[in-house]
Chain A
């Protein structure tokens, strides 16, 4: 099967996600990028699972999806909180504490 292609897809997705996290300044976009990374992982897991012919990979993927949902929930809550207090979701603005 096309193992390498899937892996490359995963890698590309992951990289895009990383870029998004590090470059985008909009908090929501950052969250989305993280989702991208997680999904890259999922692709890997599923593909490897298929390749090895074991189910555990897909199970792992399911866990990841579930956890990701929870994470994003918390993330959005925090972003909302910040927006309420600071009327901004630009992650660059939040540097009260440094040094």
Chain B
């Protein structure tokens, strides 16, 4: 278990590599060879993460005695762990917790395979800061969820590092680019293993800064810097929620320790419901900004101004899921706050679902391939949030896991495409690239299928669990969420097909001669594509595996990653796998593809998708007399899907949300000018100066007493004397 206790090494390595690259990169290593440092560091990180992941599985499989929370002696055990943190009311902890955990097992993942409650590995290092004699430690918090994210971040970051050596070769700021990749990785890893909510905030902000720096990587062009600023400021808005929410948590539990907070809630559900509701709402704002949820998502598409690998790493796979991760990490807060267990609709689920919907809709309206993918990311993140909103914790994390891979693959694919097609991302300037760049094409298609959720690709399994989760819910299901989910499933398949059509099919509409990217770019693509196929295997439902007698391997993510030690206390239940739901989901995805296919390939496509080259030939003929085909199929698809939803969503998005964000800034500045001009310089400063002038002029006036005529002086003297005399004689 050494690795789990010393997990701090994992973020430390990239941090060091950041320093090395930034300060010694140019001079000692050579501007064009700094990537060596970064890649080596990430390799190390990957290995360590793998070790950590393995050790965690060991811990779950045959836990050391001190790791187990005996369901029966639930309360007492916690009593020992957390000292006086919640020394009171063990009794009802005991009852409630054990009861819940009981039925948690009952309907738990099919095979009734019960896992003991494993406590996370928490190691604290130094007194970070202190107050009122209490010192607050900095430390690491490692459990299944952590190691899962460690693996995701390490793998994708590593691949992106490799991919970038080609993609940003010869860039004017190659050194800074790699420095910030390292810094970002460090920050992200620091974030995922945060032991207390302060660390969460720190990591949260640091990744934000890295994203700012990398979006604005080419800061000579104003649009890039605008995008960077927009991203940062939008996130700052969310951070208000983050700060306040965390403060409310602190105020309620008087501790920053995540483990303690979670335990306190799970051992005594229902207490401080209101405080938790406030906290959850505030934190939701933070999630909305960081994970691109409605209505703070508008920065994400602009963020595509950054280099494509960055988009793949930060704005698809890792940073943007920080919000989701935080919800999962502090799940008891949200579970109690939004009373997910009992409601059938709640803020988080709705925001998630709605975001998924508009995201998917907007994806139709884009011509920029990266923006399509960006909106797709928004939509998928919405999925995850929705999943968490309906209580499907595992589904959300599972989807996070799979999505990371295929979305990264898609982005890198897009990058590879633009690399070939003269650095454009406009799909109208592409087309027919599949011949010129087969590897990119295949990997792209695979990941698209995964994203669309086609059996047996990874996305299928995770999306299925989400739909299932919203169908079953906890005490009662989430019908609206189910509808949203299904609609999104259909639309996702549809717009991805559209992208594939415009990018790879038809004939090349750009200029120059496109070419396949070199191996250093395609190999990562293939690895990711592979994961896009296999990632689903990590949480296969029991029934699927029974035939091959591997049911022992079912629900690995649920088994390893889910922090049952907290969730059981909440009485979180897991739905039984349902074949029908899976079929419905699959059907939706397929029909989505089908409709789009019809839209672009004409009805002949109805015969099936197997023989590609024929439809390709059809494709040319279609393009010749495109007009009436459009006219024909507009009635079918566009009128039903694109116009109403996408156009409306797009208009709303651009004219309302986006403008609000931008004008907010402008108005702030105008207000500033006004206040400065009138209040500050006018009223406050003015009054002071006026007083000064008043003193001056009164001095001038008083000088007239000094007429220079001695007799006036005498009159003044005697007059004053007389007046004083009279006054005093009368008064005194």
Interface residue ranges, A against B (CB under 8 Å)? 18, 21-23, 25, 91-92, 94-99
The 6 closest A-B pairs by CB, nearest first: A98-B708, A95-B708, A99-B703, A22-B714, A99-B706, A95-B709
With A22-B718, A99-B703 known as contacts, the answer to whether A91 contacts B711 (CB < 8 A) is yes
Query: Within the assembled complex, what's the spacing in Å between the Cα atoms of A25 and B714?
Result: 12
Residues of A within 8 A of B711 (CB): 21-23, 25, 91-92
Closest residue of chain B to A21, judged by CB?
A: B714
Closest residue of chain B to A99, judged by CB?
A: B703
> Once the chains bind, are B707 and A95 in contact (CB under 8 Å)?
yes
Residues of B within 8 A of A94 (CB): 708-710
Q: CB of B126 within 8 A of chain A? A: no
Closest residue of chain B to A91, judged by CB?
A: B710
Q: Beyond A92-B709, A94-B708, A95-B709: 18 further Cβ-contacts under 8 Å?
A: A18-B718, A21-B711, A21-B714, A22-B711, A22-B714, A22-B715, A23-B711, A91-B710, A92-B711, A94-B709, A94-B710, A95-B707, A96-B708, A97-B708, A98-B707, A98-B708, A99-B703, A99-B706
> Once the chains bind, are A98 and B714 in contact (CB under 8 Å)?
no
Residues of B within 8 A of A98 (CB): 706-708
SS class, residues of chain B in contact with chain A? helix
Residues of A within 8 A of B715 (CB): 22
Q: List 21 A-B contacts (CB under 8 A).
A: A18-B718, A21-B711, A22-B714, A22-B715, A23-B711, A25-B711, A91-B709, A91-B710, A91-B711, A92-B711, A94-B708, A94-B709, A95-B709, A96-B708, A97-B708, A98-B706, A98-B708, A99-B703, A99-B704, A99-B706, A99-B708
Closest residue of chain B to A92, judged by CB?
A: B709
Closest residue of chain A to B719, judged by CB?
A: A22
Residues of B within 8 A of A96 (CB): 708
Residues of B within 8 A of A99 (CB): 703-704, 706, 708
Query: Within the assembled complex, what's the spacing in Å between the Cα atoms of A91 and B711?
Result: 8
Residues of B within 8 A of A97 (CB): 708
Number of A-B contacts (CB under 8 A): 29
Residues of A within 8 A of B704 (CB): 99
Closest residue of chain A to B717, judged by CB?
A: A22
Chain B nearest CB, measured from A83 CB (Å): 16
Residues of A within 8 A of B718 (CB): 18, 22
> Contact string, B623-662, partner A, CB cutoff 8 A, digits 1/0?
0000000000000000000000000000000000000000
Query: Which residues 569-592 of B sit at the A interface, judged by CB distance below 8 A?
Result: none
Query: Within the assembled complex, what's the spacing in Å between the Cα atoms of A95 and B707?
Result: 8
Residues of B within 8 A of A23 (CB): 711
Chain B nearest CB, measured from A35 CB (Å): 15
Query: Which residues 672-719 of B sit at the A interface, judged by CB distance below 8 A?
Result: 703-704, 706-711, 714-715, 718
Query: Which residues 218-269 of B sit at the A interface, judged by CB distance below 8 A?
Result: none
Query: Within the assembled complex, what's the spacing in Å between the Cα atoms of A18 and B706?
Result: 21
Chain B nearest CB, measured from A64 CB (Å): 19
Chain B nearest CB, measured from A2 CB (Å): 25
Closest residue of chain B to A19, judged by CB?
A: B718
Closest residue of chain B to A96, judged by CB?
A: B708
Chain B nearest CB, measured from A15 CB (Å): 10
Closest residue of chain B to A27, judged by CB?
A: B710
Query: Within the assembled complex, what's the spacing in Å between the Cα atoms of A94 and B289?
Result: 83
Residues of A within 8 A of B707 (CB): 95, 98
Chain A nearest CB, measured from B201 CB (Å): 67
> Contact string, B505-542, partner A, CB cutoff 8 A, digits 1/0?
00000000000000000000000000000000000000
Residues of B within 8 A of A22 (CB): 711, 714-715, 718
Interface centre among B703, B704, B706, B710 (most CB of A within 10 A): B710
Residues of A within 8 A of B708 (CB): 94-99
Interface centre among B703, B711, B718 (most CB of A within 10 A): B711
Chain B nearest CB, measured from A94 CB (Å): 7
Query: Within the assembled complex, what's the spacing in Å between the Cα atoms of A40 and B715?
Result: 19
Query: Within the assembled complex, what's the spacing in Å between the Cα atoms of A42 and B718?
Result: 20
Chain A nearest CB, measured from B712 CB (Å): 9
Chain B nearest CB, measured from A40 CB (Å): 14
Query: Within the assembled complex, what's the spacing in Å between the Cα atoms of A27 and B275?
Result: 92
Closest residue of chain B to A24, judged by CB?
A: B711
Closest residue of chain A to B707, judged by CB?
A: A98
Chain B nearest CB, measured from A22 CB (Å): 5
Query: Within the assembled complex, what's the spacing in Å between the Cα atoms of A95 and B709?
Result: 5
Closest residue of chain A to B718, judged by CB?
A: A18
Chain A nearest CB, measured from B699 CB (Å): 11
Chain A nearest CB, measured from B716 CB (Å): 10
Query: Within the assembled complex, what's the spacing in Å between the Cα atoms of A41 and B703?
Result: 34
Query: Within the assembled complex, what's the spacing in Å between the Cα atoms of A54 and B710?
Result: 39
Closest residue of chain B to A30, judged by CB?
A: B711
Chain A nearest CB, measured from B523 CB (Å): 94
Chain B nearest CB, measured from A68 CB (Å): 18
Residues of B within 8 A of A18 (CB): 718
Query: Within the assembled complex, what's the spacing in Å between the Cα atoms of A69 and B711?
Result: 22
Query: Within the assembled complex, what's the spacing in Å between the Cα atoms of A66 and B591?
Result: 130
Chain A nearest CB, measured from B397 CB (Å): 87
Residues of B within 8 A of A21 (CB): 711, 714
Closest residue of chain B to A25, judged by CB?
A: B711
Residues of A within 8 A of B709 (CB): 91-92, 94-95
Query: Within the assembled complex, what's the spacing in Å between the Cα atoms of A21 and B721?
Result: 15
Query: Within the assembled complex, what's the spacing in Å between the Cα atoms of A96 and B575?
Result: 107
